[in-house]
Amino acid sequence: MNRISAAVDRFGRAVLDNIEEMGRIFILFISVLMWMVRPPLKLRLIFKQMEFVGVKSIFVVVLTGTFTGMVMALQGYYGFRMFNAESLVGSTVALGMTRELGPVLTALMVTARAGSAMAAELGTMRVTEQIDALSVMATNPVKHLIVPRIIAGVIMLPALTIVSDFMGILGGYFVGVPILNINAGAFIKNITKMVDLGDIYNGLIKAAFFGLILSLVGCYKGFNTTGGAEGVGKATTEAVVLASVSILVSDYFLTAIMF
Amino acid sequence: MIKLVDVHKSFGRQKVLGGINLDIEDGKTTVIIGGSGGGKSVLLKHIIGLLRPDSGQVIVDGVDIASLNDRDLNEIRKKFGMLFQEAALFDSMNVMENVAFPLRAHTKKKDAEIRQTVAEMLKAVGLPGVENKMPSELSGGMRKRVGLARAIALHPQIVLFDEPTTGLDPVMTEAINELIIETQKSFELTCVVISHDVQSIFKVGHRIAMLYEGKIVEYGTSEEIRGSSNPVLRQFLSGSLEGPISVM
């Protein structure tokens, strides 16, 4: 009986801790919104973060987008061949990329690359008192450190998703047309017929939301780091796990709402 | 004038400050001494509003900073500079950008003026010409001196020092002590130094306060402290294992 009550106790505590953490992240988000509209807008810091989150992620996004499109074309071809519907491969790849895989894979890759770096950088700044130093110099750390990262995440994720969508479709074309001998005209025609702009826009809205999640979680975890080098490592891991899970869970609900 | 009135602070069940009362005199250096983990840094963070007390008042120039909102607190903070234990230089910026940071944030000086002020500050701390170095290229003592240059760049009235000589060799310790004394005199600063380095305490401090078990148990001039019969103070200064201070 004691074991059961201890297990229930632990479960209850975990649930309460998670709810408390969600509340803290939400409070940070409100604080970010308030500091975002308060001048001056620190453009230099925003562009620096946009370069880090966006420009420096292009290579990895091109790579994952291209190979995802290629493998989707290959798998789709084996399935559609059974029904002599190989020409649908192009539209399947395009729909899959624009609605789901483009935004989700881009968000997961950027989480691994930039979300983790945000947590590690802010975490290191926290444990070495650099964030306290900012406060002492009458500079708000949320305005100076977090707002530029959130803006960069929200702007650059849709931009990277466009790259990922394009490269995925290009990869699908490369596998479908020259390698699997699908008719090029049918491949492209089915894309234009079945994919409308709404699919792309909704995918980009998702991407912006994922950009918010990964930067907010990365910054929150880094900003609240305690316990030296070990704490920084823990914060980084937790940021990647929490942001990735949040992206996948919210993807379901966003899809249910939008499509 | 800084005045702490019955300041209490706990973290969870751990009581760190249990009713601090302290008047810090203008234009003098007050050293707060006490054992490691005794709450000295917590006390210092209350003086600059990085931590808020559970109860009590922290009064700076007649204003209770514990009750201020962030915007008003930032205005008060412009009167302060602070040298952190490990200097807390921004490691993504070079020395020039570090020292220029408060100037760019709070003045409308042009770039040439800022560069000139930075050069003057670095000269004042005995490190001319290091503007282009990154913090990782500096020794511990150099980092602290750059940290001090950054702390005094805006010509504050009050400078706080968090264990300025910890981790330094004896020669560098002496150099930093001299620097604190010279800076205090030439800029007519009110300095608050927290330390457990007994030699440095008497060298830099006009007034010394002993923090023990969350309270100020002794406060006076260097001479008064040297002559005190308080057993806690006597044990701390002699470094003896025998006495009221227990080693955990």
Nearest CB to B101 within list A125, A137, A140: A137
How many whole angstroms separate alpha carbon B132 and alpha carbon B94?
6
Contacts A139 to B, Cβ<8 Å: 101, 105
Nearest CB to A136 within list B75, B80, B106: B80
Model pLDDT, residue A1? 65
- The alpha-carbon gap from A161 to the nearest alpha carbon of chain B, in Å, equals 29
Contacts B100 to A, Cβ<8 Å: none
Within a 10 A sphere around the Cβ of B213, how many other Cβ atoms? 16
What are the residue ranges of helices labelled H in chain A? 2-36, 43-53, 58-81, 89-95, 102-110, 116-127, 130-136, 141, 147-174, 184-194, 197-223, 228-258
Within a 10 A sphere around the Cβ of B219, how many other Cβ atoms? 18
Contact B74 A138 (CB under 8 A): yes
Interface predicted TM-score (ipTM)? 0.88
Q: How far, in Å, are A32, A141, B12 from residue B69 at the CA level? A: 17, 15, 24
Nearest CB to A136 within list B70, B77, B86: B77
Using the Cα atoms of residue B140, residue B142, residue B143 and residue B148 in order, give the sign of their dihedral.
positive
Report pLDDT digits (tens) over A158-217: 999 999 999 999 999 999 999 988 889 988 999 999 999 999 999 999 999 999 999 999
- Is the pLDDT assigned to residue B232 strictly greater than 90? no
Mean pLDDT along residues A242-247: 96
CB A139 within 8 A of CB A45: no
- The alpha-carbon gap from B185 to the nearest alpha carbon of chain A, in Å, equals 22
Contacts B81 to A, Cβ<8 Å: 136
- B101 lies within 8 A of chain A by CB: yes
Contact B50 A130 (CB under 8 A): no
A209 contact partners, CB below 8 Å, separation of at least 6: A250, A254
Q: Where are the domains of chain A?
A: 43-258
- B80 lies within 8 A of chain A by CB: yes
pTM of the entire structure?
0.87
CB A73 within 8 A of CB A176: yes
As given in the structure block, the two tokens for residue A256 are 């249910």
Sequence letter at residue A56: K
B11 backbone dihedrals φ, ψ, rounded to 5°: -115, 105
Q: State which H helix or E strand residue B144 sits in.
A: helix B140-152
Contacts A128 to B, Cβ<8 Å: 86, 88, 91
B217 backbone dihedrals φ, ψ, rounded to 5°: -95, -15
- B11 lies within 8 A of chain A by CB: no
Report pLDDT digits (tens) over B32-67: 998 888 889 999 999 999 999 999 999 998 899 988
A104 contact partners, CB below 8 Å, separation of at least 6: A206, A210, A247, A248, A251
Mean pLDDT along residues B5-9: 93
Model pLDDT, residue B171? 85
- The alpha-carbon gap from A115 to the nearest alpha carbon of chain B, in Å, equals 18
Report pLDDT digits (tens) over B63-91: 999 888 888 898 899 999 999 988 999 99
Report pLDDT digits (tens) over A67-111: 999 999 999 999 888 888 888 899 999 999 999 999 999 999 999
